[in-house]
Amino acid sequence: MVEMSKYMRKILSDVPTLKVFDFSQYVSKIPGIIKFTIGEPDFDTPEYIKEAGIKSIENNRTHYAPQRGTVGLRQAVADTLAKKYGLHYDPATEILVTNGVTEGISTAITAITNPGDIILVPTPTFSIYTPDVMIAGGTPVEVDTSKTGFKLTPALLQQYLNKYGDRVKGVVFVNPSNPTGIAYSQAEMNELAALIKGKPIFAICDEIYSELNYDGEYSSMAKVIPEQTILANGFSKSYAMTGWRIGYLCAPAKVTDLLFKVHAFAVTDIATFVQDAAEAALKAGDEATKEMDAQYIKRRDYMYKRLTEMGFECSQPMGAFYIFAKIPSFLDQDDNKLIYQLANDAKVAVTAGSNFGKGGEGYLRFSYATGMDQIKEGMDRLAAFCKKEQGN
């Protein structure tokens, strides 16, 4: 019998990935279920981006690509970051094109983590960072932010820096956040940056939702401590390009050299025509993203209102496309049980909060990356379920 290696089995048994997988298999067998589980835009990739990809293939841009990424895409990334966010990266030495942010984060963590090094992972958060650190041989330490508005605060960060001292090699920042939808202000970022500035600690920043930041300013560690920041971003969410598998890392040249070596070894390079399409996406400006954002905001407002009326305690998300809602007292408080009950009885699928690490227990994540009709019907079903559970 072929079995998974003991090493990977141990890592995967410690993370919720398999539970999430089991639930999505279960849900796929329930006809007519409405899914609020999906962290993927329901929009198709805009036409002008698809056309750029097709044209690129027709022009035989189908050979191996430069391993750091095409010159055109790296330049477009540098120009976009400078124009929109005031960040300055040299496209020749400080930008690396990756297979989505997923590969970017894995490459970053693998490149900097030694056995025994600690990477602080504020939770609840997306599920890749903890296993990435384990695979790299480091020790992930989850920092529960559920008592501090789902944000890492200076006091909390200082507490962990005091506890683990120079074993801390990195801190993960996901801004805006999946699953909580919070976003840091630049002032908050500055205070956190001050605590690690000048120390051999990296800020590992996942900014995949930077374009889906509805209310606030763009904020980043890269604005204050660029010399210690590894910034990951991509096209999956903002340009509805999940299946194209493309993203990028930005970091000081010396760090990018390390990232490049890990990437070139593991991935080689990213398909040229995909890079050409991504370049077209950036060069065309914000129109397509703005249209999608407008839809997300309408859905967010509607869903937030309905959930609050039902008795879910949640704060209005500032970015990304998720609402992280506290389970009301009249429902089963075990989020992993409740999701099955909701799937069976209400025909609504949501993600259990505990799958996002410490502090997520007792919460549910609702994705609003689905059409308004589905959202309305799903909220009606959930409201009926809640009413029944309350006995009226």
- Closest C-alpha to 223, from 173, 262, 169: 173
Amino acid at 7: Y
Bridge partners of 141, per DSSP, are 120
Q: Quick check: 242 binds ligand PLP (CB under 6 A)?
A: yes
Taking CB positions, which residue lies at the least distance from ligand PLP?
100
End-to-end CA distance of the chain: 53
Binding pattern to ligand PLP, positions 103-132, x when CB under 6 A? -----------------------x------
- Closest C-alpha to 339, from 358, 363, 320: 363
Bridge partners of 322, per DSSP, are 367
Q: Are 214 and 300 in contact (CB under 8 A)?
A: yes
Q: Which residues contact 285 (CB under 8 A, 6 or more apart)?
A: none
**Site stretch for ligand PLP (CB under 6 A), options 8-16, 65-73, 96-104, 268-276:** 96-104
Structure tokens at 81: 């970051």
Q: How far is the CB of 236 from ligand PLP (least distance, A)?
A: 3
Q: How far is the CB of 213 from ligand PLP (least distance, A)?
A: 13
Structure tokens at 2: 């072929």
Q: Which is nearer to ligand PLP, 239 or 312 (CB)?
A: 239
- Choose, by CB under 6 A, the member of 208, 225, 325, 379 that binds ligand PLP: 208
Q: How far is the CB of 172 from ligand PLP (least distance, A)?
A: 10
Please give the full DSSP string across 261-325, using - where no structure is assigned.
HHHHHHT----HHHHHHHHHHHHT-SHHHHHHHHHHHHHHHHHHHHHHHHT-B-PPP-BTTEEEE
Q: Which is nearer to ligand PLP, 206 or 276 (CB)?
A: 206
- Choose, by CB under 6 A, the member of 53, 69, 100, 181 that binds ligand PLP: 100
Binding pattern to ligand PLP, positions 270-299, x when CB under 6 A? ------------------------------
- Closest C-alpha to 269, from 66, 71, 104, 113: 66
Q: How far is the CB of 80 from ligand PLP (least distance, A)?
A: 16
- Choose, by CB under 6 A, the member of 53, 138, 247, 319 that binds ligand PLP: 247
Please give the full DSSP string across 230-251, using - where no structure is assigned.
EEEEESTTTTT-GGG--EEEE-
Q: Quick check: 73 binds ligand PLP (CB under 6 A)?
A: no
**Site stretch for ligand PLP (CB under 6 A), options 53-61, 99-107, 148-156, 212-220:** 99-107
Q: Which is nearer to ligand PLP, 159 or 268 (CB)?
A: 268
Structure tokens at 66: 């430069």
Q: How far is the CB of 217 from ligand PLP (least distance, A)?
A: 19
Q: Are 100 and 246 in contact (CB under 8 A)?
A: yes
Main-chain dihedrals φ then ψ at residue 286, nearest 5 degrees: -100, 0
Q: How far is the CB of 385 from ligand PLP (least distance, A)?
A: 27
Q: Are 249 and 234 in contact (CB under 8 A)?
A: no
Binding pattern to ligand PLP, positions 161-200, x when CB under 6 A? -------------x---x----------------------
Residues contacting ligand PLP: total by CB under 6 A: 13
Q: Are 110 and 262 in contact (CB under 8 A)?
A: yes
Binding site for ligand PLP (CB under 6 A): 39, 100-102, 126, 174, 178, 206, 208, 234, 236, 242, 247
